[in-house]
Structure 1
Amino acid sequence: MNTATLDTAPRAGRGARLSILHVVDALEFGGLERMVADISAAQRSHGHAVAVFSLTGPGELGPVIARAGVEVIDGGKRRGFDLAMLARLRAAITRLDADIVHTHNFVPNYYAALANAAAWPRRPALVNTCHNMGARLAGARLRRLYRLSLLRTAGVAGVGEGVARHLVERGLSPRARTVAVRNGVCMPARICPDRRAAARAALGIDPGALLLGSVGRLVALKNHRLLIGQVARLSREFPTLQLLLVGDGPMRAGLESQAGASGAPVRFTGARDDVEALLPALDAFVLPSHTEGLSIALLEACATGLPSVATHVGGNPEIIDDGVTGILFPDDDGDALAAALRRLLADPALRARMGEAARAWVAANASMPALRADYDAFYARALGRAVECG
């Protein structure tokens, strides 16, 4: 969809440097949270003053963000609607003299809309990023609260064209204030024999094994069940085949049982904070999700130089050029997934060619500097003035 002009009145400027407060639900390991960690560090390096307010506490990523010199503020949220947390958020907005309050997904936006309404002596611009297709907004209460909060929100950014279009078409976000701001990731070093050997040694993976991998929460929407089933099937054709699942979640015990019963050669690492160091161990990345916004895990795999197999859902086709940077397959189609994996596993030259093309695409279109510049432009529209720093 075309970038829209945000419907906000200009505010008095105070120079190019911005005070930005990101507001998130939590800071556990996840794509949204890693993106917030990376963009806050990039914005600080660019010259902005940046802090992150986590409604439920610093979590696992809080210390990582703090090490980058970004303040992390613990909201200490309790169950239900929490007036004390709302007061802490309002105090943070005022103390930081924020120009921009940037919320991520839905609950943070309605809390920030309330806190921002009482901000003093001046009210910052409130902007929101939607990181997925809004499945949680199927609930009437959250949908109503989110829509009310958008009355006080200067702009909504979908993390890709598909997400932005979906928000508008479903009537969840107003067209005039909804834009696409594609996710971005930090570019790691290219895969080389030393990085590959070090990653495999750290994981205890044989140097000659064929290794598939997936990164993400072990939840039903990620559909790891389908992937494990096809790996069990393919392991009879490729005796050295192994699957690495990086992440944790409520489905883990069931997936471990499935792998054991089927004989699928699966390694579960649990949640990790060193994903970038593990990805070079893989031969290919797999994302079998039922739904995605614009997957950070998929972008990171592409940036590493891995070919990917992903479902043709959500923002995945915005990242994967089918047959060029990876292979797309229909949601929940086990035969199509097996065929795509078989094609890559049997052809090292194809894997190398697709991986190099994927890395080049991310460098040109979805790097962290590109995302930082896009958000500066997004903020400028919300503020009604230019933003240039560095």
Structure 2
Amino acid sequence: MKVLHLISGGDTGGAKTHVHTLLAGLTPRIQVKMVCFTEGPFTQEARALGIDTEVIPGRNFFANLKKLSHMVQEEGFDLIHSHGARGNMMAAFLSKRTGLPTVSTVHSDYRLDYLGRPLSRLTYGTINTLALRKLDYRIGVSDAMVDLLISRKFDPERLFSIYNGLDFTPRTPAMNRAEYLRSVGLEADETCVVAGIAARLNPVKDIATLIRGFAKAHRAFPALRLLIAGDGEEMANLKQLAADLGVAKAVCFAGWISDTDSFYNALDINTLTSISETFPYALTEGARAGLPTISSKVGGVSYLIDHGSNGFLFPPGEDQALADHLLTLARDPDLRKTMGQRLYEKAKKEFSIEATVQRQLEIYDSILRYEKNGRDRVVICGAYGRGNAGDDAILLAILTELRSIDPDLSFQVFSRNPMETRQTYRVNAFYTFHIWKAIYYFKRAKFFINGGGSLMQDVTSYRSLWFYLWTLATAKHYGCPVIMYGCGIGPIRNNGNRARAARVMNRSVDSITLRDPDSLKELEVLGVTEPKIALSADTTVSLPPASPDIIDGILDSRGIPANGNYIGFILRPWPGFEEKTKDIAAAADYVYETYGLTPVFFPIEPRLDVAAAQRVIHWMNAPHYILTEAYTAAQTIGILSRMKVVTSMRLHGLIFAAGQGVPLVGIVYDQKVSSFLSYIGQDLYEDLNRLTADKLKSLIDGAVSRGKNPALLSESVEKLRRMDEVNRKVLEEYAAQKKNPAE
């Protein structure tokens, strides 16, 4: 593999470090050549690192383009990789001449690159915006940058993410802490707690918020100090702000520094206050030094900083939140040590140079495969994009399975919130009821998946059933193989709907995998015999939980002790639920009084479930917690894994908890709840309309007792995972088939 990199050659800061580090790491692995358009420190340092570097000077764009075209033809490059406005513009024209695929690394928000420089923003900024649209692929320096590009209508399946890697080889600072602080002029003794930042002093870095937050914290903790390393146009204004706030003696402006090892060694707390970032080196530099970090929640920061676990996040510009976090860390040296160690371990594992270089090679391999072989498309339809963690977990499970089978598949997903689906799952998505787009993609798809859950039912509405039947029939009409995947069937109560559903499934569906035996019986009663039918499991049973540190951070940030003893309640509004709120509340109080399990109310679909929980809490006396936010599938599973018992109306609350071996109690509002529990050999459930406080207490007693015999629970978990293999085998069969001839 031979890759040509194009960059102006005048770059500084994070972009310079990223390119130098990356190309130095790639050079021993593949053939790499970098072409710059300016001679200077950037190119000199690149050559010193052993990077094959050539400068094509001059401002004659078309002459340079001609030279580059000859170079590409003579030297046999496979791929063009550009960085920055000038490199991107050249790559866009060069691709037209040579036919080579092009990829650009987007190091920062191109709309903010020239903030405060209107002429440069108008010229270079416009050029870069146009050039990025013309290139074939883009790499965002962080997943957050990829999200930003998706929000600006770039194709999510032509986007990749990468992170700035750092060398975690241990280093010995040139100066110890005391020596360094004296050298920069900061008055601080061994009792002081030093917070710091290394950044350009320009508006995007928002150092003013850092100084304001620091001033508030300093009033409550006078031993706090602030060390600012960097230079820029905001220096004078920031010094004046520190003086106006009365903290000039506690704040040191060190200017531009080269000895970063001594700088970070002198700190107790690392900070970042930017209003826009991709994934700054200041974070990984601080992580290498084992420093807890307080950062604005921007760009890819949250992919490294797990709030409450290895650092703190705050909304950009919120100086009071920053001050609160500074005080928390300043007052607790043990917390600083614990958070710093956690951050070091995560950064070393996931954000090293080796990880970055390997990721870049994987991106190159993917691009070249796509260009050579093309990409087969799969269309997926379900109840996605509605804020329901269970339904969205189904989509995640399907995509995870398909990508493990064939990483080069392309996807089009029906979604009620297409932008959210694109950003969350890195797939193309269109609005659920955009029928012309659906038809367009059916004509070009390798196969169609009707994706899990209880889609074949008419309890919620007739129209939803009719719509899903229409997708089955239309996909088949246009020659697209159809799979109903990990689904539940029924209840379908209307006779006309039952006849219509049976007719469509017999005529249009090729394979059906079912998540419970009751659904299999329902198909038999309906007379559905033509598709291949197999009993399997819900597709989400094999999804893994988030890491323990992430779950600790989520719980701690909500004031919930991470190692407490809890019972989880997952409730939802349903006809008859209101009359049972006192009974559920009485059972929750009983569990706390009898077993010392604190109730935690948890939402699967927050817009509905939080209100249901609050109705129960109104009648309670026991202490409790309520979570009100939407969580990812991994976070949801991780939180439920901390429960000693889970009592749930929501099916996916039970499935997620079952996958972690947590004892279950089901409140049955729909037959799918009892079907699932019976399927895995769990009998602790009761219909909502027959539920009483005494009955629920008795069921929870049984679950607590069952928790003392984990072997029984592990058998249920293993059964689920074995049955889920049926789903995978069906996908493997269809993924291996030849592409739809209509393509």
TM bucket, shorter chain: 0.7 to 0.9
The one-letter code of the counterpart of 1:21 is L
Give the letter for the 1:178 counterpart. L
Supply the distance in 2 between the matched residues of 1:295 and 1:253 (Cα, whole angstroms).
24
Mean alpha-carbon deviation: is it higher for 131-140 or for 349-358?
131-140
CA 239–140 in structure 1, closer or farther in 2 if over 3 Å, else same = closer
Q: Residue by residue, what CA displacement relative to the aligned partner does 1:338-373 show, whole Å, maximum 9, x if unpaired?
A: 111111111111111111111111112111111111
**SS in structure 2 opposite 1:98?**
coil
Aligned partner of 1:335 among 303, 320, 328 = 320
Structure 2 counterpart of 1:39 = 22
Moved more, 69-78 or 212-221: 69-78
Asked which structure has the greater CA Rg, the reply is 2
Q: How far is 1:324 from its partner?
A: 0.8
In the alignment of these two chains, the number of paired residues is 361
1:358 paired with 2:343, answer: yes
Name the residue aligned to 1:156: 138
- Offset of residue 278 of structure 1: 2.2
Q: 1:196, CA displacement in angstroms? A: 4.5
Seen in structure 2, the aligned counterparts of structure 1 residues 193 and 34 have a Cα distance that, compared at 3 Å, is closer
Instruction: Kindly state the Cα deviation for residue 297 of structure 1 after the two structures are TM-superposed.
Output: 1.7
Matched, 1:370 2:351: no
- CA separation of 1:320/1:360 partners in 2, compared to 1, >3 Å: closer, same or farther? same
Matched residue, 2:381: none
Q: Is the 8 A contact 1:211 1:242 kept in 2?
A: yes
Within a 5 Å distance, the mapping from 1:182-193 to structure 2 comes to: 182-189=163-170
- Greater share of helix: 2
Query: Which SS does the other structure have where 2:312 is aligned?
Result: strand
Report which stretch shifted further, 109-118 or 209-218. Answer: 109-118
Q: What residue identity is the alignment partner of 1:256?
A: K
Residue in structure 2 matching 1:135, options 89, 106, 111:
111
- Offset, 1:385: 8.6
| Residue 99 (structure 2) pairs with residue 114 (structure 1) | no
Q: 1:237 to 1:354 in 2, by over 3 A?
A: same
Q: Is the partner of 1:282 in helix, strand or coil? A: coil
Cα contact 1:102–1:128 (8 A) shared by 2: yes
Question: Could you tell me which of 78, 97, 103 is aligned with 1:99?
Answer: 78
**What's the offset of the Cα at 1:117?**
3.5
Whole-angstrom CA distance in 2 between matches of 1:247 and 1:37:
21
C-alpha deviations, 1:291-350, integer Å up to 9, x for none?
A: 111222212212321111011222221121001111001111111111111111111111
The CA distance in 2 between the partners of 1:277 and 1:52, in whole Å, is 32
Do residues 23 (structure 1) and 6 (structure 2) align? yes
State the distance in 2 between where 1:269 and 1:86 align.
43
2:30 corresponding residue in structure 1: 48
* Counterpart Cα distance in 1 of 2:267 and 2:197: 9
Specify the code of the residue in structure 2 equivalent to 1:125.
P
Letter in 2 for 1:186: D
Match of 1:222 among 205, 218, 222: 205
Q: TM-score, normalised by structure 1?
A: 0.80
Deviates more, 1:135-144 or 1:26-35: 135-144
8 Å contact kept, 2:84–2:128:
no
* Alpha-carbon distance between aligned partners in 2 of 1:27 and 1:207, rounded to the nearest angstrom: 40
The answer to whether the Cα contact below 8 Å between 1:214 and 1:285 also exists between their aligned partners in 2 is yes
Once the two structures are superposed, the pairs formed by residues 317-332 of structure 1 within 5 Å of their partners are 317-332=302-317
Instruction: Single out whichever of 363-372 and 63-72 deviates more from structure 2.
Output: 63-72
Q: In 2, distance between residues paired with 1:371 and 1:286?
A: 23
Paired residue for 1:245, among 222, 225, 228?
A: 228
Alpha-carbon contact 1:188-1:304 (below 8 Å) kept = no
CA distance in 2, matches of 1:237, 1:103: 49
Is the alpha carbon distance of 1:151 and 1:341 closer, same or farther for their aligned partners in structure 2, counting shifts above 3 Å?
closer
1:106, 1:130 within 8 Å by CA — same for their partners in 2?
no
CA distance in structure 2 between the aligned counterparts of 1:311 and 1:105, rounded to whole angstroms: 25
For residues 59-112 of structure 1, the C-alpha deviation after alignment (integer angstroms, 9 at most, x for no partner) is 4x443322211134345465xx84455456556655654333221244421222
Aligned equivalents of 2:242, 2:56: Cα separation in 1: 39
Partner of 1:235, secondary structure, is: helix
Q: Which amino acid counterpart does residue 37 of structure 1 have in structure 2?
A: H
Q: Given the superposition, is the C-alpha separation of residues 28 and 141 from structure 1 closer, same or farther in structure 2, using an over 3 Å criterion? A: closer
Secondary structure of the structure 2 residue equivalent to 1:176: helix
Label 1:350 to 1:178 Cα distance change in 2 as closer, same or farther (>3 A). same
Structure 2-normalised TM-score? 0.44
CA distance in 2, matches of 1:323, 1:58: 43
Residue identity in the other structure for 1:73: E
Moved more, 277-286 or 124-133: 124-133
1:256 aligns with 2:243: no
Q: Which secondary structure does the structure 1 equivalent of 2:285 belong to?
A: helix
Question: Percent identity between the aligned chains?
Answer: 27
Instruction: Between the two structures, name the one with larger relative contact order (CA 8 Å, sep ≥ 6).
Output: 1
* Partner SS, residue 384 of structure 1: helix
2:599: which partner in 1? none
Distance 2:157 2:204 in 1: 31
> Does structure 1 retain, via aligned residues, the 8 Å contact 2:110–2:128?
no
Q: 2-side partners of 1:350 and 1:207: how far apart?
A: 21
Specify every segment of 5 or more residues in structure 2 that has no aligned partner in the other structure, as ranges.
115-120, 372-743
TM-align CA RMSD: 3.2
Q: Which residue of 1 aligns with 2:366?
A: 381
* Residues 87/275 of structure 1: CA separation in 2 closer, same or farther (3 Å cut): farther
> What is the identity, as a one-letter code, of the residue corresponding to 2:359?
D
- Asked if the contact 2:3–2:32 (Cα under 8 Å) also holds between the matched residues in 1, the reply is yes
- Of residues 156, 161, 170, the one that matches 1:175 is 156
